[in-house]
Amino acid sequence: MAYKNYNNSQTSSDKAIEKFSEMIISRLEEGKANDWKKGWIGGEGHFGMPQNLNGRNYSGTNSLFLFMDTAINKYSAPVYMTFLQKEKEGLRLKKGSEAMPVIYWDMSIKDANGKKVSMSDYKNMTKEEREQCEVRPFLRSFRVYNIDQTNMQEVNKEKYDKIISRFQPPKLADTQGMYRNAAIDRMFERQEWLCRIQYDKASAQAFFKPSDDIIVLPLKAQFKISNTPDGIYKDGMEYYSTALHEMAHSTGTPERLNRTMGSRFGDPKYGKEELVAELSAAMVGNTMGFDRRIQNNNVAYVDGWLHTLREEPKFIVSVMADVNKASNMILQKIDEQKLAIGEAPILGAQQEQDKQQSQKTQISTSSNDQTEEVAKSVKASIYKLPTGSYVIQASINGQELDQKPIDNKTAVSFLRLKDDTKMNQMLSDIVKDKYGSELNVPKVNRNESRGLKI
């Protein structure tokens, strides 16, 4: 996929937003050209969220567009790394590899005198001092590369294959051969969504009715329109995609996320709400292994979406802010069901990894009561921010503490160490110096995922 050349005066975040807008425009134009047969993201779906090389999930806007980038370029898995991570792995980029932007919100904070204030200092201020500060959020971005843009498969095939295997969705079908999702089925059966869902009666269409706070879905069997086993299986995916679309609409009511959704078909606000619901369904569905086809009844909005995105690329920021909130709400409820039936959660996957890691890095310390020994799980990482500065992040018993800035010389010296014993000792000294009594421990174990944290 080719992207246009950007004005050099633009910030990196401006360029990222334009690229994201162009990706959506490209999907819409391709959808028009192929009669909407392909999904929003353009792939077969992956099982789980996009991740960085250390297994930490990307979320929100980054998740959707990394999914899309993976599909467009036919990468094997949505796993990305920074240039620094690539260097530490001893990998090289393939010729012509183009980076994908990843965005995040930062804060510009100034005190009453106009002097810049760090986030850590801001957190330590009194309420009155904070009220005197000017706080301005702004977007930053940095670049990442997919693992298939490197030579990892050649030089470390075992690690590459292990990463890829995490994203292979299991093929689960019902008695009719249609895709089946046990977590969503359970949610419907037990009526554990935010509002009531009617799913067991025939209906000519799917819709959310705000006045009654109810979602109405056609029977699953009504989605069975294909003649081939593969087509029938995907018909089942369309059933759940449609449900996710209506569930996204239902998150926008005043008592929930309070979106301005428009009152009638053709209303520009109604059109934006449809785009939010479409992209939310696509993002959530893709984490469970399936893409969402662009609905025929939304074709009428496509030209409007295209016009707005071309005229104002930052429109996508507003859309994605709503998509992120709606998707997260849906995924949280799906995770509740997954845990109830013994499946690994989607959003909770990272917390589970952290839990397993903390079990490996437990250390014991004496409390003030000498008769009782308290086991504390402490982890610490030193990593470089996209701004170029270094920080240390420590956590105790899974509770993250505030980041602390460290000087570049100390950080680089630590990251260049090869001996684990020396690294442990140096990291322990840095933690004592920066956190002191917040941890009250004599020693910390090195976090395996040190380096650039995303």
pLDDT greater than 80 at residue 109:
yes
Instruction: Work out the number of other CB atoms within 10 angstroms of the CB of residue 265.
Output: 11
17 three-state secondary structure: helix
| pLDDT band of 54, cuts 50, 70, 90 | confident
pLDDT at residue 351 in the model = 44
pLDDT greater than 70 at residue 130:
yes
Burial tier of 314 (Cβ tally within 10 Å: 0-12, 13-18, 19+):
middle
| pLDDT band of 359, cuts 50, 70, 90 | very low
Contacts of 419 (CB under 8 A, 6+ apart): none
pLDDT greater than 60 at residue 328:
yes
- Of 125 and 47, the one with more pLDDT: 125
| pLDDT band of 1, cuts 50, 70, 90 | very low
pLDDT greater than 70 at residue 364:
no
pLDDT greater than 80 at residue 237:
yes
Amino acid at 240: Y
As a whole number, mean pLDDT of residues 253-274 equals 77
| pLDDT band of 307, cuts 50, 70, 90 | confident
207 three-state secondary structure: strand
pLDDT in tens, 377-408: 567 777 666 556 677 877 665 555 667 788 87
Query: What share of the chain in percent tops pLDDT 70?
Result: 79
pTM value is 0.71
DSSP structure string for 54-107: TSPBP-HHHHHHHHHHHHHTT-SS-EEE-HHHHHHTT--BPTT--PEEEEEEEE
pLDDT greater than 50 at residue 371:
no
Nearest 5°: the CA angle 231, 232, 238 is 85
pLDDT at residue 181 in the model = 95
- Of 304 and 323, the one with more pLDDT: 323
pLDDT greater than 90 at residue 180:
yes
Residues 80/172/187/234 CA torsion (nearest 10 deg): 80
Instruction: Work out the number of other CB atoms within 10 angstroms of the CB of residue 197.
Output: 22
Bridge partners, 374 (sequence order): 365
Q: What are phi and psi of 55, to 5 degrees?
A: 90, 10
DSSP structure string for 339-362: HHTTPPPSTTHHHHHHHHHHHHTE
Q: What is the rounded average pLDDT for all residues in the chain?
A: 81
Contacts of 125 (CB under 8 A, 6+ apart): 117, 133
Instruction: Work out the number of other CB atoms within 10 angstroms of the CB of residue 408.
Output: 12
